[in-house]
A and B are shown apart, each in its own frame.
Chain A
Amino acid sequence: MIRLIKDTLISQVVTLWRVFMHAFAKTDTVEYPDVQPQMFSRWRGRIILSRDPDGEERCVACNLCAVACPVDCIALQKAEDDEGRWYPEFFRINFSRCIMCGFCEEACPTNAIQLTPDFEMAEYVRQDMVWEKEDLLINGTGKYHDYNFYRVAGKKIGGKDKGEARNEAPPVDVRSLLP
């Protein structure tokens, strides 16, 4: 009997009291358009293409991001300049399809494609959701400030021959027997 009263009456009254005390707690709501929410640096939002420390495009048009993309929202075409550097001739992200999963960022071998904390991407015309390379490229290095793919990779480009990359030994002449 006492157990029944405790379960049915006392515990309900305690519950009511505790919920009532929430009236004096601070609300969690952020009134978004009036107050900007504090976004986290690892938030997966709008996608950008970064540049390396020398100011060149990082993207080498390897297509790994397009392959990794689960919704096929990335389209690009490889081109090569006269120095031997690969770059995307066009790079197109359809943000009306993008689900901000960040797989492209994980797949990118050159840290070119990165996700940013910006999420305000609403448009009135659907076609405006398709961003071209000029829209995506930023002038900075994004999250990785000293990474430069061509300076660590073995590929020969203008002004950097084989064996001249950082931590790279000069190429071995396999036909020579000299030590």
Chain B
Amino acid sequence: MVWEVGSPLSIGAILFTVIIVAAMLIWVERRLLGLWQERLGPNRVGPFGLLQVVADMIKIFAKEDWVPPFADKFSFILAPPIIMIVILMSFTVIPFAPGVGVIDSDIGVLFVLAMASLGAYSVMLGGLASNNKYALLGSLRAAAQMVSYEVFMGISLLGVVALTGSFNLREIVIAQTDGWYIIPQFIGFLIFMIAGIAESHRLPFDIPEAEQEIVAGYHTEYSGMKFGMFFVGEYLGVVLISSLLVVLFFGGWLGPAFLPPIVWFMLKTAFFIAFFILLRAAIPRPRYDQLMTYGWLFLLPLSLLNLMITGAFVLWQEGGM
């Protein structure tokens, strides 16, 4: 059968869809922000402004790709592809639907967390290599932000893992047939969502780029397609975190049978992408020391408590029944 996990067609389709969706998010985000700010957003190029993405792409490819003479060339060029590669790698373990996926890994959750941590290198390297004070401030903040959210991001997922008894994302989805994990793991969901926003550098936690404070943070010196990679990488991160939320807490492809599983997955993911954009429209940005305090003193104990209660519940259920 052509449509199975890991077939070339499946891999190609997933890669193509994910990148196209990430690129289209440029338009989706601007239209939705416009909607919530009582504006219109781009509506001139093509029907509903849909071709705005094409125009942006032409612009970004035709732009001068300038490497500043004062930058550290090797790391400067290395940084943008890292975020793209790392996030696209994370998509390999996502189970989109039964039979649709790249690999069926037993360590899916760990793999995603590992790749997410590697993504921070892109941000920090890019900022340091730029040799620019704003970029340095950006990567400084990225480092500070990373040490605060990575910890509870991992721990918040362990509740789901404990309930399923597996790190395999596909098995996590199948284990949710009786009920989505949003109900038993509501606190875990909240904590993972907060960490996911920080992970994808989206408002309100876009502290490393904070355009009102430090120009564009770590990608201040980037132009052309290198900037484009950071940009699309950020949107890929949004898609990744949204699909992870769907897989871990909202039953992945599961849903009433009148729609095919892949459509359910896409609908749920689209809902979370829109929610991310709503967050951008609504919530102001905290200082990075506030995020660190909040993360270490509130979210980390909360996630540990959640893990402990979940673990106790699992043990009680196994021993008592």
Measured CB to CB, the residues of A under 8 A from B are: 4, 8, 12, 15-16, 18-20, 22-23, 25-29, 31
Contact = CB atoms under 8 A, between A and B. Distances in A.
Contacts of B40: 27, 29, 31
A15 B282 contact: yes
Interface in B31-90: 34-40
Dominant SS among interface residues on chain A: helix
A19 B38 contact: no
B283 A22 contact: no
A16 B298 contact: no
A4 B36 contact: no
Given A22-B38, A27-B40, A28-B39, 6 more contacts: A8-B298, A19-B36, A20-B278, A22-B36, A28-B38, A29-B38
Nearest to B282: A19
B38 A25 contact: yes
A20 B278 CA distance: 7
Which 5 A-B pairs rank lowest in CB-CB distance, beginning with the nearest? Answer: A19-B282, A29-B40, A15-B282, A16-B282, A22-B36
B124 to A, nearest CB: 28
Contacts of A19: 36, 278, 281-282
Nearest to A21: B36
B279 A20 contact: no
Nearest to A12: B283
Nearest to A23: B35
Chain B interface size, as a band, is 10 to 19
A1 to B, nearest CB: 10
Contacts of B38: 22, 25-29
A155 B35 CA distance: 62
B36 A16 contact: no
Nearest to A1: B298
20 contacts: A8-B294, A12-B283, A15-B282, A15-B283, A16-B278, A16-B282, A16-B283, A18-B282, A19-B36, A19-B281, A20-B36, A20-B278, A20-B282, A22-B35, A23-B36, A26-B38, A27-B34, A27-B40, A29-B39, A31-B40
Interface in B262-306: 278-279, 281-283, 294, 298
A134 B39 CA distance: 41
Contacts of A16: 278-279, 282-283
A23 B294 CA distance: 31
A33 to B, nearest CB: 10
A19 B221 CA distance: 33
Contacts of A15: 282-283
Nearest to B281: A19
Nearest to A24: B35
Contacts of A8: 294, 298
A32 to B, nearest CB: 11
Nearest to B204: A12
Contacts of B279: 16
A19 to B, nearest CB: 4
Contacts of B37: 22
